[in-house]
Amino acid sequence: MEFGAVRLSRVSSVRRVCLAFIAAIALGANQAPPTPSELYGDLFVEVQERRIFGDNKTFVDAVPLRAPEQIMADYRAAPPADAEALRAFVLANFSVPGIAPTAPLALREHIKALWPDLVRQPRKEVEGGSLIALPLPYVVPGGRFREIYYWDTYFTMEGLRADGEAVLVDNMIDDFVSLIERFGHVPNGTRTYYVSRSQPPFFALTLDLSENTDPVVIARRLAALRTEYAFWTKGERCATKGSPCERVVVMPDGSILNRYWDGRDTPRDESFAEDRATAAEVEGEPAEKVYRNLRAAAESGWDFSSRWFADGQTLATIRTTDIVPVDLNSLLYAMEMRIARGCREAGDQACADGFAARASARRAAIRKYLWVDGEARYADWSRLENRPIPGLTAATLYPLFTGVATPDEAGKVARTTQERLVAPGGLRTSLVRTGQQWDAPNGWAPLQWIAVMGLERYGHDELARQIASRWIDTVDRTYRETGKMLEKYDVEEKKPGGGGEYPTQDGFGWTNGVASALLEKYPGLDPADAP
């Protein structure tokens, strides 16, 4: 009976609450509930005007974690001092859409835990399939990128080495060797539709990440590197002034530099509809020329960017094959120097002298044609206009990374970088907004590494560390908010990047690699150690 009385009492209580709720609705039938701007007043205005979140709808859809009056009392008692503090206050008091709760692991530990998820074991090729088999385990970028990619892999390897994965680093180097022995070069990626082109040639630099001292292995790798060099310079047999051949351009003084190119002039298999749509927008140009330029931009890794556009804004004006890029030629200088060293160590002095001479000639040509002293920058060169291309991009730092620049040039590039390319969240890719992913406001992991290592090489340690610090902050902040490591980031607002042909991918191989390598290099930047 006592139990029944208690139960009856509870039912009556529930009924009273329900009746009160119904009465409240009846009394306020014509009265709208308060909006976020009404509930949060000054806090609301500050969050929206400071653009704490990229989309103004984000905060208004947030759910308070305690009573609004309590939140506002704390806000008024101790107003956040700056945008960072304001954002932290909001995240501490609201569940914000699209932002995950506190990440379970610190950034570096999360990356170490991710590596096994990105490792792929050797698989047999399937007749009719597009995957190219590799002999040894490798790491993929993640997301839609389910195969190994050439230049991504170098930056991934830097992180793997920092995280103690020496065996995996060696495996991937030897996977590259197998590709070069099979195709004469490292394809863009391990798919049949990528074989007609390569990507920025980092294979030479991967060799210095290996701890393998076996002379047989070293000899095989050097032979592969020389084969890759032959791929990039094959056009020397047919190039003339005014008429490039494949990837080779003869400059006005007869010196040799290189360009990006692709052996095919058809729509890319992986972007077929997109390429046909772009070609349809172009008047007065054969579709085949447009396709070749799109493919060449894909070989550059910067697909797509204002670097390749005649008007600096529009994809339909793409002209990649008419441009002599500073990054490619800086990397080929590094390749020539690495072959010269490898030949010297092997006792082949004639080979060493020959490649050292080639490197010296390339360095002179880069400095003659691609250095713009009056603008304190390295630039790409327009073959058609016979002049450096206007517009600053992060590619200006490649000659520092590979040692092409003089100390004076490096100092000027450092000042330009500090004044124009450094953003709150890291290094800007360019200064223009085109909606393409390799333009502002995006920043990319490989370019942060190029900048940091290049600046440090010439003694600009403070600026190098500043870029590293801002980039790590962006990556860590986004990881804590989303639980993800991303392909690219908006370095203006320290949030996920955007633009381009596909949604921003997570995973992400080279972001993991550069973050781990930077944290190994600068332990004091580790967010886990922050007070």
* Catalytic sites, residue numbers: 303, 487
- Helix axis angle, 287-300 relative to 272-281, nearest 10°? 130
Q: Which long-range contacts (CB under 8 A, 24 or more apart) does 476-485 make?
A: 476/107, 476/527, 479/103, 479/107, 479/110, 480/100, 480/102, 480/103, 481/91, 481/98, 481/99, 481/100, 482/98, 482/99, 482/100, 483/100, 483/103, 485/110, 485/111, 485/114, 485/142, 485/511, 485/512, 485/515
Report the distance separating Cα 39 and Cα 312, nearest Å.
Answer: 46
Interacting residues of 137 by C-beta distance below 8 A, sequence separation 6+: 119, 120, 121, 122, 168, 171
The three-class DSSP label of residue 189 is: strand
Report the distance separating Cα 48 and Cα 60, nearest Å.
Answer: 9
Question: What ranges in 405-460 are assigned the alpha helix state H?
Answer: 407-416, 445-457
Whether the CB-CB separation of 504 and 511 falls below 8 Å is answered with no
User: Cα 188–190–196 angle (5° rounding)?
Assistant: 45
Residue of 527, 401, 417 lying closest to 467 (CA atoms): 417
Instruction: Look up residue 148 and give its two tokens.
Output: 């190994």
Question: How far, rounded to the nearest angstrom, does the alpha carbon of residue 437 sit from its chain's CA centroid?
Answer: 9
